[in-house]
Structure 1
Amino acid sequence: MPRLYGFDDASRRRLRDDEVDATRQMVSRALSGQSNQDVAVWANGEGYRGTLGGEWKDASVGRLFRNPAIAGLRYDDDGELVDAGHPGAITREEFEALLAREQARRTKDAEPAYDYLLTGGGSTCGICNHDLGGARTNVGTPGYRCRPKDKKGIGGCGEVRIDAELLEDYVGEYVAAELLKPRIRSQIVKAQDAVRKKADSLKREIKDLEERQAELGRLYGNREISSEALVAGEREIAANLKDIRPRLRYAEQMVNFSLGHAKDLVKWWNTAPTASKRAITLLLLEKIEVFAASARGVRTVEPGRVVLHWRKLSDTSGG
């Protein structure tokens, strides 16, 4: 079985460093409105090739984008997306946006996919601290929402909603202003060095957990532990991996981010791929808290509604 682009092996236990960033950039370009053919032309122009050395085509880009494994997911027997137990190059939200984009391509009247900047832990509910997720309003406008608890008790308070463009423009203005400060670039480089060390530490943690997972299987195969012990051990390891892998993914995004020599930061922010904007946002901001508006229908960021917690770049290694 050939390996999937972005992974080191067919078992998909390890991401391939020289293909992960390419995958993320391809996805960002697709979600920003480029066609699969445009993405393929860009990838080939940058020198990227498929796992067998061939050039990218519209069809091969489409196959990659439809494979849930690139987000660390798989389809269960009911056709639902679930954690596949291996790392992913992109987030679940990005993959779901790719699916929505694919559906929009098939249905001309369908709403185009929206490339959310602050999902996947990028913004949190100021009331219950639950991560905000992307959710369209009844009229189809993209927004962020604290999803209420479902029947299994998973979710937040459901009290906070905000227009996506409103929140992202607000955050973008402050991030661009921060980047204009003297010496910020040198601080970013130092912070990225710290994040790189953190990413290496997370990789070691993942490797250790995977080795423990394999050891559990060996012990069970030799009948040295019971099936109950095996299930309990694997459940604990899976929970730890589920927590660590997104942290590693975001750390890698921060490490791979490059501002380059942009002279017009506002123009750069407005045209940069979402992955790049997300990386610099995560690098500069420790947390973005969003609170409920004073009344239903408020279309402004009222004082205190969005609270930006700036990261001390010298302390990034602990993030």
Structure 2
Amino acid sequence: MLDRQPVASFAEIRQILRDLPGPDLEAATRTATREALLTKPTGALARLEEITQWLATWQGKHPPAVNHPRVAVFAGNHGVADLGVSAYPKEVTAQMVLNFQSGGAAVNQLCKNADADLRVYEMCLDQPTADFTQGPALTEEETARAMAYGMMAVEPGVDLLCVGEMGIANTTSAAAMAAALFGGTGQEWAGPGTGIHGSALSRKAEVIDLGLARHRDRFEDGLAILQCLGGHELAAIAGAVIAARMARVPVLLDGFASTVAAATLLKLDSHALDHCLVAHCSAEPGHRKVLAKMNKQPLLDLGMRLGEGSGAALAIPLIRAAAMCHSGMASFAEAGVSNKD
């Protein structure tokens, strides 16, 4: 009997990454031209102007707009949760998914506030990843399939994608992936996650170091890092980021785990995340270090550490405000206001 062909493969993912579209320079130029004519001193709206330029450049249109934002929350379970690295058991992942679906989580309220579409993607919750201290967390096929599944979050009409996650022990995976990407040890990257400290935090650092030692020879490849140390939901985030780029949909990354998941793509293309902004800086200590390594400045810094796409959802009104200022403000000529000489 012939072996079944995988649904997706790393070779297919690499081919897609080789064909990523670049910035739309015409839309960028039109945005800059209009920005200079609006009734305000040059640069007075600071980062709002930068956001507008980014939005137009990656939507590929002028004026940019945020009419159909989507918050995609990917949920998966991790085998290392059984090693004492989290304050909660992995059953909480499925319980929180039900909370999302019933409208009871913080992200539900933030999506209502932002008039955003929330989608929750359950990923093999009854089949946690393997323990990455003993072998790869996922097979290559599982990783590629998870990435392909994540790509489905980018549907026609979506004009801004926010990616978040839910998965007990996924800050352990994210910390291990960050160390694989940027160097360092478990002690340097492990954070409290859901609220651990003391001996539990030391155990988390130990587990990370065990994973790093086992898979160190594969750290030159971002896809291999996802496979060896990641999870279904983290691979799906990377896939969603790729699909958004192909569809010209700008992306807001949420916290530590989603940012690290996306950062694996930088190993394959240093410009793979040019269409992404980071919504907020998580209180998880590793997030600020990752942002410094990526040269990304978060839009918000409120000390949040919830995950589930909450920071990204919170930033949607800010993105929309930037676009509305750009498209709705009058020019000096239209308003009859004297411009500077």
Report the TM range for the smaller structure's normalisation.
under 0.3
The TM-score with structure 1 as length reference comes to 0.27
* Higher RCO structure (Cα 8 Å, ≥6 apart): 2
